[in-house]
Amino acid sequence: MKKGIQILLAGIKQIGFSLLLIQLFSCTSQSFDQEKPNILFIAIDDMNDWTGFLKGHQQAITPNMDKLAKQGVNFTNAHCIAPACGPSRTALLFGIEPYRSGLYPFYDQMKMDQSLLAKYVSLPQLFKENGYATYGSGKIHHGREWSFRKNGGQREWTENNQAVLDTLPELIYDYQGGFGNGRKMAFCPTKSPLEHHPDYVTAQYAEEVLQRNHTQPFFLAVGFVKPHLPFVCPQKYFDLYPNPIEPPVIKANDLVDIPWAGRSNAKLNDDFNFRKNDNWQKVHRAYLACNSWTDANIGWVIDALKKSTYRNNTIIVLWSDHGYHQGEKRSFRKFSLWEEATRVPFIIIDPRNNYQGDCGEAVSLQDVYPTLAEMAGLQKPNYVGGMNLLPWLKDPAKPKKQPAIITWGRRNFSIRTREWRYNRYFDKTEELYHHASDHQEWNNLADKAEFYKTKKEMATWLPKNEAPLVLQGKALHNIVDADQPSLEKAKEAWSRINSKIKPSLE
């Protein structure tokens, strides 16, 4: 009996020692895994500065993003790479500027020779190849096929949620109340349950991923489609904005001092239609509602992160692919080199450090790739452009010499600094705005002799070499630039539209 007890005790000791070893190994493994930060990558489609934290519209209700802006560094003078979804996302995610890649317009990436893209390493692919588990849902790249569907998305994603999003029924809303062009131009509440909204499903997926027990660092990308057209979302968010909606301040003859190449970017047909029957009120209300809807989805994701064990080691980066005109410059949508189309929400939070504050220096979304690579301790590919923003995370007030460079088609550029915007078009015409005194860009100073030196200094930042336009797979190319369309035809088309607009530009 005594011998049996001794054997039993020895066994218990051995089991206990084994459990201790397992526990120690687990702790060591968890510690090793957490040496690298997790990444929560929040992409938003078509959101301009109509948010609380950017103060673009006094009625904007975005409490969740406002809190994030206070918790990290809010880049208040951040700008897109190109004022359109496709080229902006392509440049950000591959880490290369359009004027270096030749990828200026929209592309159907499935119709491109894959060797054109194989030379680039996308941001989620970089993290995956460096030991990260990568998760994606919603709009990350422009186009689902290349990112999520080709080979099951294995190039970039450990797991993605596209198969679930593909099964969602079409949202129900009264698009007959829109202003033409069918479902896409609707500005109204939806009647569908939350579970049928893609952005809600994406937020729920992110919550579920954050609740998991991860054994390796993760890169979680969540792409919210709203406020992209149609401006539809649940009724609750329309109710936040009783009429009347305060319209943006607009100068009637705003386009009179802008060169033709710049004027061609204005979507005057939309402005003409929306001036009827108080339609702009409906558009503004619907856009603000969609911004609040996206804010709610972001809030659910952030709440899930706060409740998780990863909250102290997860970098959050929030960005929108470009801005959006709401009548300024007589324009609607994006597709211009003016402030409303290029300025974007951009926030970075690193809970491992206490980086906080507003940064008013001009930064570009091109800086996202090198900054995240640096923060995660990853070696970025040699071709990657942009700047590492870590010095401005540490000190948001630090002066910055290099401007943000925005490209819209070949040979159309905007150079944005803290105080100035300089636009140079393919036909060498120019715009110059002093933002410190003219943040609405109403007074083009390009022809003023006293600003010749400023123009010359700004022009030194223009790219010296430009890649030719990549033609294979080219899709939407609604750009008046060095490649398309012909000068004569474009001028004729713009003149026809202009003749219908009242009051006149003059």
Nearest Cα neighbor of 214 from 28, 29, 25, 20 is 29
Hey, what long-range contacts does 379-385 have (CB within 8 A, 24 or more apart)? 380/95, 380/126, 381/95, 381/120, 381/121, 381/126, 383/95, 383/96, 383/100, 383/119, 383/120, 384/95, 384/96, 385/95, 385/96, 385/97, 385/100
Cβ atoms of 255 and 329 within 8 Å: the answer is yes
What are the residue numbers of the active site? 85, 142
In whole angstroms, give the CA distance from residue 26 to residue 481. Answer: 58
Q: Which residue in the block uniquely carries the two structure tokens 């941001």?
A: 123
The token pair at 450 is: 């006293």
- Give percent helix, percent strand, percent coil of the chain, each to the nearest 5: 40, 15, 45
* β-strands 73-75, 357-359 pairing: parallel
Q: Is 442 exposed, middle or buried (0-12, 13-18, 19+ CB in 10 A)?
A: middle
Look up residue 450 and give its DSSP letter: G
In whole angstroms, give the CA distance from residue 437 to residue 400. Answer: 20
Cβ atoms of 84 and 322 within 8 Å: the answer is yes
Cβ atoms of 351 and 305 within 8 Å: the answer is no
Distance of CA 326 to the CA centre of its chain: 18
Cβ density class 386-416: b for 16+ within 10 Å, e for less: bbbbbebbeebeeebeebbbbbbbbbbbbbb
- What number of other Cβ atoms are within 10 A of residue 491's Cβ? 16
Cβ atoms of 418 and 360 within 8 Å: the answer is yes
In whole angstroms, give the CA distance from residue 324 to residue 301. Answer: 25
Cβ atoms of 240 and 60 within 8 Å: the answer is no
The token pair at 179 is: 């202003």
Cβ atoms of 38 and 276 within 8 Å: the answer is no
